[in-house]
Amino acid sequence: MSKKDNKKNKDSIFNKFLNVVEITGNKLPHPITLFAILALIIVVLSAIFEALGVSATGEIMNTKTMELEEKTITTVSLLSGEGITYMIKNAISNFTGFAPLGVVLVTMLGVGCAEGSGYITAAMKKLVSKTPAKLITPVVVFLGVMSNVASDVGYVVLVPIGAIVFMAYKRHPLAGLAAAFSGVSGGFSANLLIGTVDSLLAGISTEAAAILNPSYTVEVTANWFFMFVSTFLIVILGTVVTDKIVEPRLGNFEKTDESVDKATELTPQENKALKWANITLITFILLIVIWAIPQNSLLRNSETGSLISGALLIDGIIVFVTLGFFIPSIVYGRISGTYKSEKDIGDQLGKNMASMGSYIALTFVAAQFVNYFNYTNIGSILALKGAEFLGNIGLTGAPLMVLFILLTAFINLFMGSASAKWTILAPVFIPMFMQLGYSPELTQVAYRIGDSTTNLISPLMTYFAMIVVFAKKYDKDSGIGTLISTMLPYSIMFLIGWTILLVIWMVLGLPLGPGVSMIYQN
């Protein structure tokens, strides 16, 4: 791109808007202070809403019994005696029980060793010498989308590696981070395979459909055809946004990682170490596959034999991924000479945790904010009020589904958990849309679009704080404003593109999955 074109791109109205978002966002206090302020705001609002009697009534699914219960949800004040007791008594458990904390720290034990040993650097050098530069962006986005089959592992593995891959190609690491994050989070529901989210949502949808039809079953493959095609859509849109909007706006990256920036040629010793480390990794993966094959395998669900729902393979995926980085990195380090003894490995493990200090501090405050939001019921009330609003509008057809997607996308900004939102929304919208002639599977697919696309710009998304910390590694001045302004183009494009795909799907009357129609016939 010429300097003239680059200047024109930076001066575009959309880029000026993104610059305003970034500048405004970065003028906010330090992320730790900001989350503390947000937590304080929730405390005050909860007291005001309780005093005003803010509440909402609706049928909500009990995720333990999988039965529908009509409930009136009221705002719970954090300034009452019980609320203050909750904040003090649960401050530690909110922190230690914060889902991403353990996942991130355990995974970094393995990933950090792979970095410290030089294994990742050597792999990146080999990648640069073998892979055409034009394919890097779509490959990173695609791997991000596909990582969702293994739960949340993409957030802590692919996002930081995306930055390293781009830097190896002399590209801006924040663009690589954004590309990976867009696939992992923005394309959360898309996949070529059936994942944990399919079984989770299908179970809730089945119970919601039972309100009108007790014999109706929503299969885990209910949205497979649509999500299969969606994977390619997300990769295409993610690639275009990264290469045409995000990276040009970021400009040139002045700093370089010397370990990656050195000549891409590996020494004979590094080549040997990389070869045996890769053989070790492949052997480890094969052993897992062989272990998983028998129907009575410990890695399977003991009752159903599934390798996905309730299976040790998925429940323990973080441990397997950590070992998948740790074991080959030891082999690489020993052969290359990076790790001369077990003391070097022990020191590296300590360095891995030391590098996560900022994230741990930020997590403590962010965990309080997220848990306060859940405890006060503000998110649940917002969801029920939104459902009531949409139910009273009286739209039908594609416009109805588009509005439902927008409502879900909006609610997702304030209520991160996909299953928590669906337990509230499914009992309302699935029966409502069934009465209008739309299948539960269509309602579920529309929900998944809205639920995925605004993950990228929601501070309530549980891994958001971690991504902010990753970004600071490459730009110490970056903050929440930088991340939101970088990810906003992806969020907008994914929301528009994915919604258009669903509208086209509806017009053509295509099946959403094997034998699954968009029309409900009683």
Task: Specify the amino acid at residue 292.
Answer: A
* CA angle, 345 then 348 then 350, to 5°: 115
Give pLDDT, residue 30: 76
Of 291, 274, 191, 195, the residue nearest 235 (C-alpha)? 191
Task: Specify the amino acid at residue 313.
Answer: L
Give pLDDT, residue 129: 67
Q: 239 φ, ψ to 5°?
A: -65, -45
Give pLDDT, residue 7: 46
The torsion angle over the Cα atoms of residues 489, 492, 496 and 497, rounded to 10 degrees, is 40
Residue 468 to residue 490: CA distance in whole angstroms: 17
Of 408, 422, 441, 420, the residue nearest 370 (C-alpha)? 420
DSSP-H helix ranges across 376-463:
378-391, 397-412, 418-435, 440-453
Query: DSSP state, 184?
Result: I
DSSP-H helix ranges across 12-151:
13-26, 31-52, 81-89, 91-96, 99-117, 119-130, 136-146
Other Cβ atoms less than 10 A from the Cβ of 90: the count is 16
The string of pLDDT tens digits covering residues 175-224 is: 999 999 999 998 888 988 877 678 778 888 888 888 778 888 888 889 99
In the structure encoding, which two tokens stand for residue 264, read together? 């891409």
Coil, strand or helix at 115: helix
In the structure encoding, which two tokens stand for residue 165, read together? 């891959």
Residue 384 to residue 58: CA distance in whole angstroms: 7
Buried b (16+ CB within 10 A) or exposed e, 501-513: bbbebbeeeeebb
Residue 329 to residue 324: CA distance in whole angstroms: 9
Q: Do 61 and 204 touch, CB atoms closer than 8 A?
A: yes
Handedness of CA 278, 282, 283, 288 (dihedral sign): positive
Other Cβ atoms less than 10 A from the Cβ of 126: the count is 18
Q: Per-domain residue ranges for the chain?
A: 10-508
The torsion angle over the Cα atoms of residues 17, 401, 204 and 95, rounded to 10 degrees, is 10
Q: Name 244's Cβ contacts closer than 8 Å, sequence gap at least 6.
A: none
pLDDT (tens place) for every residue of the chain, 522 residues total: 444 444 444 567 878 877 887 777 677 777 788 788 889 999 999 999 999 999 988 766 666 666 667 778 899 999 999 999 999 999 999 999 887 788 778 888 888 898 889 887 788 777 766 778 889 999 999 988 988 766 667 787 788 888 988 988 889 999 999 999 999 998 888 988 877 678 778 888 888 888 778 888 888 889 999 999 999 999 999 999 999 999 999 888 766 555 555 545 678 999 999 999 999 999 999 999 999 999 999 999 888 888 876 788 878 888 898 899 899 999 999 999 999 999 999 999 999 888 888 878 888 988 898 788 889 988 778 777 777 777 677 777 889 999 999 999 998 887 766 777 887 788 778 888 887 888 999 999 999 999 999 989 987 787 888 888 889 888 888 888 889 999 999 999 999 999 999 999 999 999 999 889 999 876
Give pLDDT, residue 4: 43
Q: 171 φ, ψ to 5°?
A: -115, 165
Give pLDDT, residue 8: 45
480-508 and 440-453 helices cross at what angle (nearest 10)? 160
Rg (CA), the chain: 24
Residue 334 to residue 342: CA distance in whole angstroms: 10
Task: Specify the amino acid at residue 54.
Answer: V
pTM, 2 dp:
0.73
Cα distances (angstroms) measured from residue 252 to each of 6, 336, 488, 521: 11, 33, 20, 57
* CA angle, 321 then 197 then 288, to 5°: 30
In the structure encoding, which two tokens stand for residue 42, read together? 């929730």
Of 455, 457, 452, 515, the residue nearest 481 (C-alpha)? 457
Terminal alpha carbon distance of the chain = 58
Cα distances (angstroms) measured from residue 36 to each of 26, 369, 372, 482, 508: 16, 7, 11, 19, 49
Residue 268 to residue 134: CA distance in whole angstroms: 28
In the structure encoding, which two tokens stand for residue 388, read together? 């009531």
Cα distances (angstroms) measured from residue 11 to each of 56, 242, 243, 246, 338: 46, 18, 17, 14, 47
